[in-house]
Amino acid sequence: MIRFFDIAKRYPSGQVALEGVSLAIEKGELCFLTGGSGAGKTTLLRLIFREETPTAGQILVNGRNVAALPRGKVPYLRRSIGVVFQDFRLIDRKTVFENVAYLPRILGLDATKQRRIAYEALRRVGLAHRMAAFPWQLSGGEQQRVAIARALVNDPEILIADEPTGNLDPDLSREIVRLFLDIHRRGTTVIFATHDRQLIERVGHRALVLARGRLVEDRRLPVGSFDAGLTPAVGAGDDA
């Protein structure tokens, strides 16, 4: 599903963000990306959805050569990839519903269908009852769940999360991680960047470790206790 062939990313300032990175992530995998600050995690993720272009090497996402993708085709690539950030990146002047329904809206779906799929995405993250609220009226955990709902609304094949629990307390972080595990169980390829080595050990699956822009470790891990104790989707109570 995602292939990196000898990828390098060097900035004009001379800073080397990535060097000689080759990897393959298969459809339906849950993959943690870890490493210290400045290791290149964010750059690697940004290369997948063409927020950055590599200085050298090739990247294939669903068979598409992302680096060579014409600028006009980039939006179509991004519609197949959901992205969640540490800082949520919600539009403050739009309601929760409008934030989530933005993509269905630009895809030209009729209002009823927009409402239906935005509601469904919000229900999955347990926030269907906060559709009319504005992001600033929500807690950090709720804002991150809205961001996840927005990432899920188009049913993407790939979900990228760049330290999505970085701004949250431990309880909220566990809630968000459970949500990602639930999304992964439904067949979505999830790439989750985090500093939290303990979390990776407890969840398992696969860990890619970056250090100073190089991929230094690619480990398969047993599925851990976190996943085993997974409760049903967070939004189960929203149906009422």
Partner 1 sequence: MNLLQALAYFFREALVGLLRSWRVSALAVLTITVSLFLAGSFLLTSGNLARAIASWKQDARLTVYLADGVDAAARDRIAERLAAAPWVEEVAFVPAAEGAARFRSAFPSLAELVEDARYGSLPDSLEVRQRELTSTELAAHRGWIAEIGRLPGVETVDDDREWIAGVATLLVVVRALGSLLTGVLLGAAIFTIAAVVRLTSFLYRDEIAIMRLVGATEFFIRGPFYVEGLLQGLAGGVAAVAALRAVHFALSSRVAESLVLRLVARDFLATGEVAALVAIGAAAGLGGALASLGREQAASERG
Smallest gap from residue 78 Cβ to partner 1 (A): 4
Residues 152-171 that bind partner 1 (CB under 8 A): 154
75 binds partner 1 (CB under 8 A): yes
Smallest gap from residue 85 Cβ to partner 1 (A): 9
**Segment near partner 1 (CB under 8 A); pick from 18-26, 98-106, 136-144, 215-223:** 98-106
Residues 31-60 that bind partner 1 (CB under 8 A): 49, 51
Q: Which residues pair with 206 in a beta bridge?
A: 31, 220
Give Cα separations from 86 to 4, 13, 23, 168, 173 (angstroms). Answer: 24, 26, 24, 9, 11
Show Cβ contacts of residue 216 under 8 Å, excluding neighbours closer than 6 positions: 209, 210
Which member of 6, 22, 68, 89 binds partner 1 (CB under 8 A)? 89
- The angle formed by the CA atoms of residues 107, 127 and 99, to the nearest 5 degrees, is 35
105 binds partner 1 (CB under 8 A): yes
C-alpha–C-alpha distance, residues 6 and 162, integer Å: 22
Site of interaction with partner 1 (CB under 8 A): 49, 51, 71-72, 75-79, 83, 89-91, 102-103, 105-108, 150, 154
